[in-house]
């Protein structure tokens, strides 16, 4: 028979690892060529403690030679507190293999029902699951 303290310790140890509290996570999850574009899939998780009505990021896209090829705004939309959202963006006339990295320049918009916030950059954690395409600050 398991003792309550031991049972709790085992339950906590067996629980899946959840997103870090207090941050805004953006993960570049996949990239795939679609007709005439490179489709990027991002996973966004809002752990900031604030419900966001709008979260947009200005990013710089670098080509294979390391030159900035595009600067664009990725609109993630509303992200309620503790919500994870998957969003796709197509980069027209671009092949995924021609991209070397993506850099977050700034939060173009970061808003709650109370107005503008600074959590979208201050608490941003950016990462990539694509080894050949780093994504970060």
Over residues 40-64, the pLDDT tens digits come to: 999 999 998 889 999 999 999 999 9
Question: How many domains is the chain built from?
Answer: 1
The pTM of the full predicted model, rounded to 2 decimals, is 0.80
Structural domain contains residue 9: no
Read off the CATH number of the domain in which 119 is found: 2.60.40
Structural domain contains residue 4: no
Structural domain contains residue 53: yes
Structural domain contains residue 13: no
d(CA 91, CA 93): 7
Structural domain contains residue 31: yes
What does the pLDDT average to over 25-54? 94
Structural domain contains residue 72: yes
Q: Which domain holds residue 112?
A: 19-130
Over residues 70-118, the pLDDT tens digits come to: 999 999 999 998 889 999 999 999 999 999 999 999 999 999 888 898 8
CA 113 vs CA 48, 71, 76, 117: distances in Å: 14, 28, 16, 10
């Amino acid at each position: 028979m398991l003792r309550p303290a031991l049972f709790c310790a085992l339950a906590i140890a067996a629980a899946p690892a959840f997103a870090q509290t207090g941050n805004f996570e953006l993960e570049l999850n996949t990239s795939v060529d679609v007709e005439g574009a490179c489709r990027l899939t991002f996973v966004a998780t809002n752990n900031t403690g604030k419900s966001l009505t709008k979260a947009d990021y200005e990013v710089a896209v670098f080509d294979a030679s390391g030159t900035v090829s595009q600067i664009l705004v990725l609109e993630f939309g509303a992200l309620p507190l503790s919500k994870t959202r998957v969003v796709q963006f197509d980069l027209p006339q671009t092949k995924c293999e021609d991209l070397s990295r993506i850099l977050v320049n700034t939060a173009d918009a970061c808003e709650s029902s109370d107005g503008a916030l600074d959590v979208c950059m201050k608490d941003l954690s950016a990462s990539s699951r694509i080894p050949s395409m780093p994504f970060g600050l």
